Structure 1
Amino acid sequence: MENNDILIRLRYALDIKNTDMVKIFQLGGIDVTKEEVLKILTKSNVEEPELDQQLRINNSKLESFLDGLIIFKRGRQEPKPGQPENPPKINESINNVLLKKVKIALSLTSEDMIEIFDNAGIAITKGELSALLRKKGHKNYKECGDKFARNFLKGLAVMYRD
């Protein structure tokens, strides 16, 4: 799944306004204008690529947006003594990062996450969820596929929009 598609679905699920999108990007350390946000949120034109106006974002920018979402929803956390000011970027699948950071931003419990997947028609156990939320390199780490990420965002929309 493309990063822009993830942002479009996340924006819809959480009903985030364009001005808030700009603010969230800024909280994540990226300066964008409202016009650039609109270009990021436009669907890509597959039939006529020369007319494609979409502004594509990479994994780093998406992760910065998710960091900004955490600050937007929960407030800025002061770093503890000896802790770096800006946390290092996570070196794993962007889908796993999406699950982790949305869980933090919305203060979701594992039961909430299982319910979100259930809303999308996916049955997932606590153990499977735990494997998706683990750090890469852990013996039980499992990479989150596009299907799980898409269904998570779908379940999120069901939970927050209905």
Structure 2
Amino acid sequence: IKEMSMLSLICSCLYSQPHRNSIYQYGDMEVKPINKCASGQSFEVILKAPNDLSPDRPQPLASPPKKDVSLHELQKRLEAAEERRKSHEVHVLKQLAERREHERVVLHKALEDNYNFSKMAEEKLSYKMEVNKENREALFNALKQKLWEKEKHGADVRRNKELQAELSG
């Protein structure tokens, strides 16, 4: 259908009824019009089997004939394959070594970060404990001062009572 000319396509649109017994040949397929479609044209496409092809048409390509290979040629091919295998093995081992080195560097960095974080957290905790200790000591000293002042006031009150008792008595 690709090879149908533009004029044929336009004519088929203008004349919805195809010619009777019109068969179009395109390579290994036949196109026959069918008059059973009321809304427009319809076609039957018949594909020819490969054995239906004409003898003047080229046949599908067969595999090329095998040539005899000498023992020396086989040996050279085996050596080349072995060299490729060794080269590939070296390449893979090199990639594995690079990956291991990368993983080692990443692990070392993670351990270093963990150590630094732990050290920082320990320093913060020590600082907070020191601040809390100083706060506790300051609070304790303030309470001691208050207690001492109350005891001094109590002693003054007792002495004043004793003096009053002596003066009145």
Q: Same fold (TM over 0.5)?
A: no
TM-score interval for Structure 1 and Structure 2 normalised by the shorter chain: under 0.3
- Structure with higher Rg: it is 2
Query: Which one has the bigger helix percentage?
Result: 2
TM-score by length of 2: 0.15
Higher strand share: 2
